[in-house]
Amino acid sequence: MERFWTIFQEPLQQAALIEDGKIVKLIPNSPPRTPARFVSCVGRYNDSLVIGRKNSVELWDWKGEILKSSIYHPWIYRLHDVKQIGDNLLLGCCRIDAMFSINLDAELQWSWFAHEYDLSPQFTAINEPNWTMRHICGEIIEHPGESHLNSVNYQDDTFWISLLKKQMAVKYHQGKIETIPVEENGIHDYQLIDGKVCYGYDDGCILGEHKFTGFPWVKRIKKHNEHIFFSYEQGVVKTKGDQVVEIIPLPRPFGIVF
């Protein structure tokens, strides 16, 4: 039996626990009406479920029944990815085109901004005196020409970052970057799985030497045991080698966390 968490994108904006292809838990129980309560991504921190909101992250028990803590940081703006890195959280935000690490007390550990490498214009609103008020109240502030930092992955002291609007991945290692253009439109979740390049795009995904097409907007990829899973607009696909093993129909899932 497969058991994993995902989120449903707009208009639902909920976290969902999936067991054996069925929805068994939703957080919140009904689609939220206020932007601050929208669920934007899910992750895992030790034995806790991490739920990313538009401007904060929450730690829940793995069953999604008990909220352990809520963590606010003013840089969490349009959160797109959350991962555990050591004892801290690694966050990727598309509106400010940045990844950064905070501890569970919301203290900043370090940061990486795309504008520092001429990959995006600087998002200056986060430095304004009234930013916290605008941030919490959910005011949408555009970022013209943004790169749309879509995902962050950390493997072997190397960060892999996907920049959707730039059509490239970025390898960040020991303070140096390498940009990696891709031919497919709509790059998502660039990473290495078993040493092989994997990423999603607007009509499928690349999983090493295997290419799966006909799956619109593959957003997230995850290896679990001997299978590789990916989410797309109409569900989650379970693969092995070059074969589709199972398709789990779901409404616009984004993320797969076991």
Per-residue pLDDT band for 1 (boundaries 50, 70, 90) equals low
Environment class of 17 (CB within 10 Å of its CB; exposed 0-12, middle 13-18, buried 19+): buried
Q: How far is CA 12 from CA 16, 28, 135, 232, 244, in A?
A: 10, 10, 21, 15, 27
Would the pLDDT of 138 be above 80?
Answer: no
> Average pLDDT for residues 67-88, to the nearest whole number?
96
Per-residue pLDDT band for 180 (boundaries 50, 70, 90) equals very high
Instruction: Quote helix, strand, coil % in the chain, to nearest 5.
Output: 5, 55, 40
Fold of 1-72: Thrombin, subunit H (2.40.10)
| Helix, strand or coil, per DSSP, at residue 124 | helix
Q: Are 246 and 240 in contact (CB under 8 A)?
A: no
Measured CA to CA, the distance from residue 257 to residue 42 in angstroms comes to 7
Would the pLDDT of 80 be above 70?
Answer: yes
Average pLDDT of the chain? 95
CB neighbours of residue 80 within 10 Å? 25
Measured CA to CA, the distance from residue 236 to residue 11 in angstroms comes to 18
Would the pLDDT of 229 be above 90?
Answer: yes
Q: Where are the beta strands (DSSP E) in 145-219?
A: 149-155, 158-163, 168-173, 176-181, 188-193, 196-201, 204-207, 210-213
pLDDT in tens, 6-19: 999 999 999 999 99
> Average pLDDT for residues 117-126, to the nearest whole number?
94
> Average pLDDT for residues 19-23, to the nearest whole number?
95
pLDDT in tens, 144-169: 778 999 999 999 999 999 999 999 99
Q: Are 226 and 240 in contact (CB under 8 A)?
A: yes
**pTM, entire model:** 0.94
Measured CA to CA, the distance from residue 85 to residue 111 in angstroms comes to 13
* Residue/partner pairs of 245-251 with CB below 8 Å, 24 or more apart: 246/21, 248/2, 248/18, 248/21, 249/21, 250/6, 250/8, 250/16, 250/18, 250/23, 251/8, 251/12
- Amino acid identity, residue 99? M
